[in-house]
Amino acid sequence: MPPRELVVLGTPSQLPTRTRNHNGYLLRWDGEAVLFDPGEGTQRQMTLAGVSPSTITAVCVTHAHGDHCLGLPGVLQRLSLENVKRPIPVVFPAEAAGYIDRLRHASAYVNHLEGARGPCAPLAEPCTWTTSAGLVADSGSRS
C-alpha cells in the first residue's frame, strides 16, 4: 500500500513569520498527492519539505483568501516548467471561479502543456462543473 501522509507546508496565518508560512498542505493518499490551499511561498515550502511538485495529482482551494490561493500561479507554472502532461484537476468553490481564473493567468510564461490536458492548457471554453456541494472542478481539458 502506498504511504499515507499529510505534509504541512504552512499553517493558518494571514501574515507569514520567520517560522510559519501561509497555508499549504499536501495529502498523499493511495497514490494520489492532493495539494490543499497553496498559499504564497508554497513552492519554497515544498522544496524544504522534500516534496516534488511533479507528484501533485490535484489541487484543492477551499476559498479565495490570499493566504489560501496566492501560491497557485507559481505551482501551476512550475508544473508546466517540469513538463507535466497529465491532467491536474483544480477544485474550488463556485464563487471563487473568477479569482481562480485570474490566478491561473497571472503572468506570462512558456506553456509546455500546449495541446496536452493539464492545468495550463488553453481552453476553447471553460471546462468546469458544479458538484452538489457547490464546488467547481476545472480539469484543464477541452470538452
- Where on the phi/psi map is residue 43: left (φ > 0), alpha (ψ -120 to 50), or beta? alpha
Q: Write out the catalytic residue numbers.
A: 67
Using the structure block, give the residue that is written with the C-alpha cell 497553496. Answer: 38
Residue 119 neighbours by CB under 8 Å, 6+ apart = 59, 76, 79, 80, 87, 88, 90, 104, 113, 138, 140
Task: Let me know if 24 is exposed, middle or buried by CB neighbors in 10 A (0-12, 13-18, 19+).
Answer: buried
CA distance 59 to 76: 9
90 three-class SS: strand
